[in-house]
């Protein structure tokens, strides 16, 4: 009986396996993971719905996200890890991960869910993604799931971490990484009445202007100049490397 069922959905399941870069030992687990309760009830599907796998997957994701944050980001405080975890296990984030593998295309839905746009519903996609992770865990084990989630989730953590930092902090990190010193910010002009001034700031490094920006305060102007400097820093670094001596020491700048 299972062979007949699997043959009916074989092509879709193989496509989904390819999206996940997984080859299931027990394909029925994946079939169950994509079976919504509405389909299960309408069709009396013998393999059941994905609700139990969703429950399991929710716990697996929570555990592995916590471990990923703890091991890969030692500078995160408990509060930072809690905030980041809340984001990474949220319905919106998991639904986005589901869309990345086009999971909605493979879901088995009842007629009502199909007609009401269930394939695009955030909550339904997030639940199905949890179910897939649950099935993945049962079929492949925790180590394989962890490798998959690390490759899938870590870039998103990096992006959020970077977006939360201001441009001055990022510029400082980049410069300190390569040169072990800091940029210099200088106010080059102030305009307007005392209650409505505009500040113009340049950021210098090694005598070169890396960026220029303006704002209603010195701090805002510095951030704007740092944004420009970040865009210019790669070209600046390339020039510095070209001028470095064979031992890797930078030549003195005139």
Beta strand 198-205 pairing with 184-191: antiparallel
Same domain assignment for residues 154 and 173: no
The pLDDT value given to residue 243: 65
Helix (H, G, I), strand (E, B) or coil at 74: coil
Among 54, 113, 127, 130, which one carries the catalytic annotation? Answer: 130
Same domain assignment for residues 193 and 143: no
For 185-194, what is each residue's pLDDT tens digit?
A: 999 999 998 8
Q: Return the DSSP state at 227.
A: H
Annotation says 130 is catalytic: yes
Same domain assignment for residues 114 and 11: yes
Q: Is residue 20 part of a domain?
A: yes
Same domain assignment for residues 26 and 75: yes
Same domain assignment for residues 84 and 108: yes
Q: Is residue 26 part of a domain?
A: yes
Same domain assignment for residues 189 and 159: no
Same domain assignment for residues 126 and 29: yes
Q: Is residue 21 part of a domain?
A: yes
Q: Give mean pLDDT, residues 42-58.
A: 92
Same domain assignment for residues 180 and 123: no
Q: Is residue 89 part of a domain?
A: yes
pLDDT level of residue 236 (50, 70, 90 thresholds): confident
Q: Give mean pLDDT, residues 227-231.
A: 88
Helix (H, G, I), strand (E, B) or coil at 52: helix
pLDDT tops 70 at residue 248: no
The domain that holds 225 is classified in CATH as 3.30.160.20
Same domain assignment for residues 145 and 176: no
The pLDDT value given to residue 251: 40
The pLDDT value given to residue 204: 94
How many domains, the chain?
2
Among 54, 58, 139, 224, which one carries the catalytic annotation? Answer: 58
Q: Is residue 116 part of a domain?
A: yes
pLDDT, greater one: 172 or 7: 172
pLDDT tops 90 at residue 143: yes
The pLDDT value given to residue 126: 94
The pLDDT value given to residue 249: 47
Q: Is the dihedral of CA 72, 181, 239, 249 positive or negative?
A: negative
- Run of H or E residues at 124: helix 122-140
Q: Is the dihedral of CA 226, 229, 234, 238 positive or negative?
A: negative
Same domain assignment for residues 156 and 227: no
Q: Return the DSSP state at 35.
A: B
d(CA 54, CA 139): 15
Give the domain range for residue 65.
2-164
pLDDT tops 80 at residue 18: yes
Q: Is residue 189 part of a domain?
A: yes
The domain that holds 147 is classified in CATH as 1.10.1520.10
The pLDDT value given to residue 1: 44
For 78-135, what is each residue's pLDDT tens digit?
A: 887 888 888 899 998 999 999 999 999 999 999 888 888 888 888 999 999 999 999 9
For 144-190, what is each residue's pLDDT tens digit?
A: 999 999 988 888 877 766 666 677 887 888 888 888 788 999 999 99
Helix %, strand %, coil % of the chain (to 5): 65, 10, 20
Are the beta carbons of 209 and 202 closer than 8 angstroms? yes
Helix crossing, 78-88 with 51-72: angle to 10°? Answer: 150
């Amino acid at each position: 009986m299972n062979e007949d069922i699997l043959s009916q959905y074989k092509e879709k399941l193989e496509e989904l396996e390819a999206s996940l870069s997984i080859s299931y030992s027990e394909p029925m687990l994946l079939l169950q993971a994509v079976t919504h309760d509405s389909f299960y009830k309408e069709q009396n599907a013998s393999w059941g719905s994905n609700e139990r796998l969703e429950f399991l997957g929710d716990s697996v994701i929570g555990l592995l996200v916590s471990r990923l944050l703890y091991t890969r980001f030692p500078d995160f405080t408990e509060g930072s890890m809690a905030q980041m975890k809340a984001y990474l296990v949220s319905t919106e984030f998991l639904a986005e991960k589901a869309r990345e593998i086009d999971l909605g295309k493979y879901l088995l839905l009842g007629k009502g869910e199909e007609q009401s746009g269930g394939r695009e519903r955030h909550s339904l996609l997030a639940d199905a993604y949890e179910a897939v992770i649950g099935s993945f865990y049962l079929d492949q084990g925790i180590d394989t799931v962890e490798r998959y989630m690390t490759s899938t989730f870590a870039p998103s953590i990096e992006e959020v971490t970077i977006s939360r930092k201001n441009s001055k902090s990022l510029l400082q990190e980049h410069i300190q990484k390569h040169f072990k010193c800091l940029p210099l910010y200088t106010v080059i002009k102030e305009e307007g009445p005392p209650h409505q001034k505009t500040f113009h700031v340049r950021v210098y490094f090694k005598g070169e202007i890396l960026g220029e920006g303006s704002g209603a305060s010195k701090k805002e102007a510095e951030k704007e100049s740092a944004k420009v400097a970040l865009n210019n820093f790669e070209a600046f670094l390339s020039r510095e490397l070209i001028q470095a001596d064979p031992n890797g020491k930078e030549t003195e700048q005139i």
